[in-house]
Amino acid sequence: MSGVCGCCGALRPRYKRLVDNIFPEDPEDGLVKANMEKLTFYALSAPEKLDRIGAYLSERLSRDVARHRYGYVCIAMEALDQLLMACHCQSINLFVESFLKMVRKLLESDKPSLQILGTNSFVKFANIEEDTPSYHRSYDFFVSRFSEMCHSGYEDPDIRTKIRMAGIKGLQGVVRKTVNDELQANIWDPQHMDKIVPSLLFNLQSGERTESRSPSPLQASEKEKESPVELTERCFRELLGRAAYGNIKNAVTPVLMHLDNHSLWEGKTFAVRCFKIIMYSIQSQHSHLVIQQLLGHLDANSKNSATVRAGIVEVLLEAAAIAASGSVGPTVLEVFNTLLRQLRLSVDYELTGSYDGSTNIGTKIIKAHEERQLQEAVIRTIGSFANTLPTYQRSEVMLFIMGKIPVPGIHLTLPSSDSGPEGTRMIQVMLLKSLVQVTAGFQTTNMLTALPSSFLEPLLSFSLTEDPEVRLLVLQILLSLIDRHENRPKFANMSSISDISVLKLKVDKCSRQDNLFMKKHGQQLYRHIYLGCKEESSGREHYETLFALLGLLSVELANEEVVVDLIRLALALQDLALSTDEALPVYNRCAVHALVAAYLNLICQLTTVPAFCQHIHEVIEVRQKESPYLLPEAVFVDSPKLHSSLDKVEGSVLFLQSKITESLGGSGYNTERLATPYVPQYTDEDRLSKRKSIGETISLQVEVESRNSPEKEERTPAEEITFETLKNAIVDSVGMEEQERERRRQVVEKFQKAPFEEIAAHCGARATQLQSKLNQIFEITIRPPPSPSGTISSGYGQSQSRSVPIYEMKFPDLCVY
C-alpha cells in the first residue's frame, strides 16, 4: 500500500511537491529554508508556473484556516511574501490575485492574530513597485475592512491597539498602492475618502483622550511605541501630501463632516489640530482651496449655534496664519465678504434673539455672550487674513470694508436687518474694529496711493459722529495708517517732559509724496482733530489718542509748512478751551489745555528753536506752580484733580501767539501764516453723507464765473505801471494763486458732498437769475411798435404790450431808402 502511495506522490506536479516540501512536520519549526530556496529558484526559472504556485498555496492556506492550523497559516504567508518579493515578471499579476485572496481570507477571520498577519503581508505587497499594470484589480474590500479595524472595539486594550494600528497601516498601504496608479480605482472618490479619513480622525481623537489621562513618564515611553496616534498622523499627512489640485475637496470634506457629526467644533482644540495637519501637509499653492471650503462650511452653518461658528472661525484664523503670503487665492474680496456677512448675521442674531428673526416657541435661544465671542473671533480672523496680503491688496480690502460700513440715510451694501438703529451702530463698530485689525502694521511708502480720497474722506466723516466709541476707533485707524516707524507706542503716555530724547523717536525727512499728501489732506486732518477736541463726549482715551495723532503727524509727515499749521491748530485749541460759548465741561476744557501743553512741549523740542522752547517751558513751569490742573500729569490720571472754575485762566499760564510767532520768525518760519489764527471750515461733511452727487460731472465754471459777472465788475482807474507795481504783482500772485486754489477746492467739495436737492436749488436759482437778465436785454432791444395795434386786450380786460421783432415792424416810407 505504501508503494502505491509513493508512486502516486511521484506523479504529482513538481510545483506542488516543492510547495509541500516547505512545510515541516511540526509547524513550530518554521519554514524549511532550503526547500524554500528551491521553490523560489523554480518560480524564477519557470515564471509561467507562478500563478499555479499561488493558487496551490492559497488552497492550502484556506484549508489550514478552516482546520485552525494557524502555524501552517503563518508559514504559507511567509512563503507568499518571499515569492512576492523575489518575482517581478509579467506573470505576477495572476499570482497577486491568489495572494490578495489569501490576505482577504485572513482579514475576514475573527482571530486578531490572523488579521494582523494579513495586514502585515498586504503592507509588504503595497511597497512593491510592479512592472506591469493591472486593469481589473479592486481594493474596495481592503478599504472597508481596514477602516473597520481602525474602529476596533476589542475588549483587551493591548490587542485593540494592535488591531487599530494594523488597520491604519493597511489604509496607508492601500493609499500607496493606488494613489499614483491611474489604472486603479480612484482612491480619492468620495466613497473611499468617506471611510479612510474618518477612520484616521477617530484614532487621532481617541489618542487625545488617552494622552489627557496624563500617564507616568515610564508608562508614556512604553505606550508611545504602541500608540496609534503618531502612526495615524503620519498616514494622514502622507495622504494629504499626495493630494493633487482636484482632490483637495474630496480629502477635506470628510474632515468637515466628521467634525460636524461628533460636535468637535465647539471644543476647537481638535478641529484646530486637524487643520494644522492639513495646512502643513498639502502643497502650499493649494492652501486657498482649504480656506475656501472652510468659508463655504461657515456659510452652511450660518444658523447653527454661535459656539460652532466660532469654532470654524478659529480654525480659519489658524489656517490663515499658516498659509503662505497671498495664498488666500484669487477671490480675496470674497473671503472678506463672507466674514463680514457672518459678522452682520451675528449682530442680527444678538439683537433679535433668534436665528429666524422671530421669537416663536421652539426657536433656539441666542446667548449674547457667545455671539460677542464669535464677533471678536471674526474680527481677529479678518486681521489674520489681511496680514498675509501684500500692501496693494490690503488697500483694496480697506476700501472694500469701508464701503460696507452703513451710514444713516445711505443704501446699505450689507444685507439689511430688522435690528434697527442699534444694529446699524453695532455693525459700524464691528466693521471699524475690523479695519483696526486690517490696518495694524500697515506699511507704505506712498501715502497718496495707499490712502486715496475714496477711503480717507468716508473714514474722517465717521470722526464727527456723536458715538464716542466710533470716534475712538477712527482715531486708532488713523494712527495705524500714519505710523510707519513704530513711533505710536512712544506717545502712549501724554506728558510734558523736558527732554523728549528719552522717547527715542525715529524721525525721517519728509518725502515728496508725504508733502503732496499733506497738501491734499492736511486741512481735513486738522479740522477733524479740532472738532474731536470739541466733542463733549470725548474722554481720556480720546484726548490721549488725539495727542498721539498730533505727535505722529509731527514726526512722520511734517515739513515747515505743516509745523506752522500744527502750531496754529494747537493755539486754536487753547482758544477753544478758553471760550465760554462752547459750554464744554470743566474736564474737557482742562483736557484740551493739557493736550495743548503736551503737544507744544513736543513740537518745540522737535523744531529745536531755543526761544520757542524757552517760552513753552516757562509757561509749563508756571502751570506746575499755579495751575497743575492744566497739565497732562494732573488731568490724564485715574483721579484727576480739576479746578471748579476756569474763568481766571489767563496771563502767564497761557501760550502766547505773539511770542511764538516772534521766536519762530527768526528761524525762517512763515510769520504771516503763524500770526493768522486757525479757523476750521464747517462743511456739509458734518452730516456724514458719503453720497456722490452729479456735481462731479457738472462743469464748475458756473460758480467760478459768478465771481466775474457784469454786475460785480467795477471799472478801476488806470494806474501808472512802474517797477514797484510789477514787483508787487509778482509777490501777490503767489498768495492770489493759493486763495484761488482754496476757493476752487471749496467749490469742488460743495458739489461733491452737498445733497442733490441743495445743488438743484442752487442751479435753479442761477438759471432763474440768468433768465431774468436775458429778459432785460430782450426788453431793451425789442420795443413794441408805436402803432395802435401794439396794444391788445386780454381776456380779463387788462391791456398787454405785444412785443414785435424789429424785422417785422412797418416803418413809414420816408424812413426806408
**Residue 315 · residue 271 · CB < 8 Å:** yes
In whole angstroms, how far apart are CA 593 and each of 267, 466, 600, 660? 52, 22, 11, 17
Q: Taking phi first (over 0 means left), then psi (-120 to 50 degrees means alpha), and beta for anything else, what does residue 754 get?
A: beta
Note the pLDDT tens digit of each residue in 603-649.
999 998 999 999 999 999 999 998 999 999 999 998 888 877 777 77
Asked if residue 710 has pLDDT above 90, the reply is no
Helix (H) or strand (E) holding 793: strand 791-793
Give the phi and the psi of residue 782 in degrees, each rounded to 5.
Answer: -115, 110
Average pLDDT value for residue range 170-187: 78
Helix H segments across 388-511?
A: 391-404, 420-439, 447-450, 453-461, 468-482
Asked if residue 327 has pLDDT above 80, the reply is no
Burial class (CB in 10 A: 0-12, 13-18, 19+), 777: exposed
CB-based contacts of 170, cutoff 8 Å, min separation 6: 119, 122, 123, 142, 145, 146, 149
Note the pLDDT tens digit of each residue in 45-69.
887 788 788 888 888 888 888 888 8
Among residues 354, 254, 265, 326, which one has the least CA distance to residue 301? 265
Average pLDDT value for residue range 452-460: 89
Note the pLDDT tens digit of each residue in 11-51.
678 888 888 888 888 887 778 888 888 888 888 888 778 87
Q: Report angle CA 563, 565, 566 to the nearest 5 degrees.
A: 65
Distance CA 561, CA 327 (A): 44
In whole angstroms, how far apart are CA 244 and each of 64, 184, 628, 778? 44, 16, 71, 83
Contacts of residues 240-245 at CB distance under 8 Å and 24 or more positions apart, as own/partner, are 240/277, 240/278, 240/281, 240/282, 241/281, 241/282, 241/283, 242/175, 242/179, 242/180, 243/188, 243/282, 243/283, 243/286, 245/286, 245/289
Average pLDDT value for residue range 557-584: 90
Helix H segments across 414-452?
A: 420-439, 447-450
Note the pLDDT tens digit of each residue in 516-546.
999 999 999 999 999 999 999 999 999 999 9
Asked if residue 418 has pLDDT above 60, the reply is no
In whole angstroms, how far apart are CA 524 and each of 313, 453, 459, 460? 38, 11, 11, 8
Split at pLDDT 50, 70, 90, the class of 804 is low
- Predicted confidence at residue 416, as pLDDT, reads 46
Q: Which residues of 103-137 are buried (b: 16+ CB within 10 A; e: fewer)?
A: bebbbeeeebebbbbbbbbbbbbbeeeeeeeeeeb
Tell me the HSE value of 406 on the side-chain side, using a 13 A CA sphere. 22
Asked if residue 176 has pLDDT above 60, the reply is yes
- Predicted confidence at residue 623, as pLDDT, reads 92
Split at pLDDT 50, 70, 90, the class of 582 is confident
Average pLDDT value for residue range 663-667: 88
- Predicted confidence at residue 282, as pLDDT, reads 92
Note the pLDDT tens digit of each residue in 75-125.
888 888 888 877 765 556 667 888 888 899 899 998 999 999 999 989 988
- Predicted confidence at residue 127, as pLDDT, reads 83
Task: For residue 801, give the 3-state DSSP assignment.
Answer: strand
Distance CA 747, CA 704 (A): 8
Note the pLDDT tens digit of each residue in 716-770.
444 456 666 666 666 566 567 777 888 888 887 777 777 777 777 777 777 777 7
- Predicted confidence at residue 452, as pLDDT, reads 86
Q: What is the DSSP letter of 389?
A: S
Beta bridge partners of 800: 792
End-to-end CA distance of the chain: 165
Split at pLDDT 50, 70, 90, the class of 2 is very low
Q: What is the DSSP letter of 446?
A: -
Split at pLDDT 50, 70, 90, the class of 138 is confident
Average pLDDT value for residue range 258-267: 92
What DSSP letter does each residue of 699-718 carry, written as one string? -THHHHHHTT-GGG--PPPP
In whole angstroms, how far apart are CA 536 and each of 437, 461, 602, 780? 28, 18, 25, 60
- Predicted confidence at residue 15, as pLDDT, reads 85
- Predicted confidence at residue 794, as pLDDT, reads 42
Q: Give how far the C-alpha of residue 216 lies from the chain's centroid of Cα atoms, to the nearest Å.
A: 44
Distance CA 690, CA 681 (A): 18
Distance CA 633, CA 719 (A): 61
Distance CA 132, CA 681 (A): 85
